[in-house]
Amino acid sequence: MSEPYTGSYQGDVRVLFFDNAVKAEFFERAINYEPDYKNAAITITVPDNGETIQEILNDLGISDLSDNYLYSHYNVDANVPKDLQEV
């Protein structure tokens, strides 16, 4: 019998990627961001509650920076080990 998965549970999140040009604006507006050196981008992690990208940007107060939005990455963690998850 296998052991139960004891990894941490992370709720459904969406990671928004922006080009590096927004770094100064995010800093000025106190937007919590993370640099993504691999993709030369700036990321923001938000809960994925079904809102559209425009709604999320409006909620964060950065709708004027929508031209700098690149793409999103979704993480849906069902508390299943990664080797058993399918994409």
Alpha-carbon gap, residue 80 to 4, rounded angstroms: 10
Q: What is the CB-side half-sphere exposure of residue 84 using CA atoms within 13 A?
A: 7
Per-residue pLDDT reduced to its tens digit, 8-46: 555 678 889 999 999 999 999 999 999 998 888 999 999
Report yes or no on 69 lying in a domain: yes
Alpha-carbon gap, residue 52 to 26, rounded angstroms: 20
Report yes or no on 33 lying in a domain: yes
Report yes or no on 63 lying in a domain: yes
The total of structural domains in the chain comes to 1
Report yes or no on 20 lying in a domain: yes
Q: Which domain holds residue 70?
A: 13-76
Report yes or no on 66 lying in a domain: yes
Report yes or no on 58 lying in a domain: yes
Cite the DSSP H helix spans in 1-87. Answer: 23-28, 53-60
Report yes or no on 37 lying in a domain: yes
Report yes or no on 5 lying in a domain: no
Alpha-carbon gap, residue 80 to 29, rounded angstroms: 37
pLDDT at 4 over 80: no
